[in-house]
Amino acid sequence: MRIRIAKEFIWEMSHRLPFHNGDCKNIHGHTYKVRVEIEGETDSNGILIDYYDLSKIVAPVIHEMDHAFLVDENDELMLNFLSANKFKHVVVPFTTTAENIAASIIDTLKFRFQDHPNIDTLKIRFHETSDVFAELEIKIK
List 24, 37, 99, 135, catalytic entry: 24
Strands 28-41 vs 119-129: parallel, antiparallel or unpaired = antiparallel
Is 137 assigned a catalytic role? Answer: no
List 63, 67, 73, 76, catalytic entry: 67
Is 37 assigned a catalytic role? Answer: no
Three-class SS state of 121: strand
- Distance of alpha carbon 108 from alpha carbon 77, whole angstroms: 27
| 127 exposure class (CB count in 10 Å sphere: 0-12, 13-18, 19+) | buried
Task: Determine contact, residues 10/30, Cβ cutoff 8 Å.
Answer: no
List 15, 39, 89, 128, catalytic entry: 128
Is 67 assigned a catalytic role? Answer: yes
| 16 exposure class (CB count in 10 Å sphere: 0-12, 13-18, 19+) | buried
Active site positions, annotated: 24, 67, 128
